[in-house]
Structure 1
Amino acid sequence: MLAVAVLALSLSLTAVHAQEQCIDANQHYLQMNYQTFDQSVDGGWRAVADKEGCQLAAADLIHQYTNAKSDLSEGDTKTLNWHEGQLRATAGQSQRAIALFEQTYKPTERDIAGWNYYVDATIAFIQQDKAKLLQSRETLADVKMPEGLNMTNADGKPVEIEWPMNLDIVDSFIACFGASYKEAYSGKCGGD
């Protein structure tokens, strides 16, 4: 029994040490605005996740941020849930990732880009349900671009996008079926 307690303490201390290596003590993550915390490519949670072995620390940071901020919009919260889910899926926490992904569904009437089909495909991939993955891919591929849709970047400049959005990722899930989420999402599976 003592050996189990010592092992648990050792694992706990290892997790704390790993957290310290991942989190920049000089950053005040919970004080960042949403844009800086979530959308900055070299700051916020992404700077943590980019460090080797720090994906779970980044997922935990997103979880803390989401729970600490009372001024987040519904869309911001769903985006943070999605990103936390991706990190957890990458680290192999499949059930937790699925629960987070399920929180990101949009009301059908507001889903003009087929987001819900992408969520379905992602969950099907993680659950290794190839039939559902293929069905979700087919449904997503049928989503037509809304007339007059003009995508712009943060500076208001036009951006060309692949349509339907996320179809390339779903195709990677199919090509990499049976691989890890991390491999499939990156498109690097099967010895590529």
Structure 2
Amino acid sequence: MIRTALLICVCASLAACAKPSTNSCEARADAMLDLSFGAFDQGPDGWRSLDGSLACPDSAPGVLAEYRHRHRDALSRPNISLLTWHEAQVRAAQGDDQRTAVRLMREAAFAGEPDWQRLYREGSIAFMEGDRSRLMAARDELAGLPRDPMLKGLNGSEVEWPPNLDVLDGLISCFGKPYSVAYVCRPAP
């Protein structure tokens, strides 16, 4: 009898460890919704911790959308654009409906966005739509842009110029492969 009770306890413990609780993912996501924009987007406890999590891999797109919705009155248009872009990237990388990812990529556009950002977006959309010539044209135009002296990194450091050229080069190198593969298919520095 003791042996049976012990076996039941061990099995129950193993079953609890086998799959993370949906509630724990929801609790993490709910806690993120109260973070500042900077902490939510770039911090170690923000949405990226869900995207890279083996426990909660499907939670990132939903929490990005919910954060945008809850904070829409306080967020600037560029910040809304950035969160929309990240949701599109996560959905594309997860292999979700590609039309949804492309729609979100297009929604990320805003009046007055920097040319480098627009070209990166256009090149990414061209990749998603299987249009290599549009991807190449966006890449070449991005490569020819003059440096933006106002663009700085998070800590005020210089930013690699032009931003995301390596990403478009990777999309070209791995054209036809899934976004999740092509996004990290970048030339060695």
State the TM bucket, normalised to the shorter chain.
0.7 to 0.9
Do the aligned partners of 1:173 and 1:185 also contact (CA within 8 Å) in 2?
yes
Do the aligned partners of 2:84 and 2:104 also contact (CA within 8 Å) in 1?
yes
Among the aligned pairs, what percent are the same residue?
29
2:109 counterpart of 1:105: yes
Question: Residue 79 of structure 2: SS of its match in structure 1?
Answer: helix
Answer with 1 or 2: which has the greater Rg.
Answer: 2
2:178 counterpart of 1:180: yes
Q: TM-score, normalised by structure 1?
A: 0.77
Unaligned segments of structure 2, at least 5 residues:
1-19
Partner of 2:127: 125
Partner amino acid for 2:68? T
Partner amino acid for 2:166? D
Partner amino acid for 1:162? E
Partner of 2:116: 114
RMSD, aligned α-carbons: 2.4
Match runs of 1:59-138 below 5 Å: 59-69=61-71, 70-93=73-96, 94-107=98-111, 110-138=112-140
Partner amino acid for 1:165? P
The whole-number CA distance in structure 2 between the counterparts of 1:31 and 1:43 is 11
Q: CA separation of 1:167/1:154 partners in 2, compared to 1, >3 Å: closer, same or farther? A: closer
The whole-number CA distance in structure 2 between the counterparts of 1:177 and 1:143 is 23
Aligned residue pairs, count: 166
Deviations 1:120-177 (A, max 9, x none): 110011111111111111111111113xx15444444xx2322111111000000000
Q: TM-score, normalised by structure 2?
A: 0.78
Partner of 2:37: 34
Unaligned segments of structure 1, at least 5 residues:
1-16
Do the aligned partners of 2:29 and 2:59 also contact (CA within 8 Å) in 1?
no
Partner of 1:11: none
Match runs of 1:41-52 below 5 Å: 42-52=44-54
Q: Which runs of 4+ in 1 moved over 6 A?
A: none
Deviations 1:19-48 (A, max 9, x none): 4454444961221111111121x1111111
Question: Residue 183 of structure 1: SS of its match in structure 2?
Answer: helix
Do the aligned partners of 1:55 and 1:87 also contact (CA within 8 Å) in 2?
no
Do the aligned partners of 2:81 and 2:110 also contact (CA within 8 Å) in 1?
no
Partner amino acid for 2:108? T
Instruction: State the Cα distance separating 1:55 from its structure 2 match.
Output: 3.9
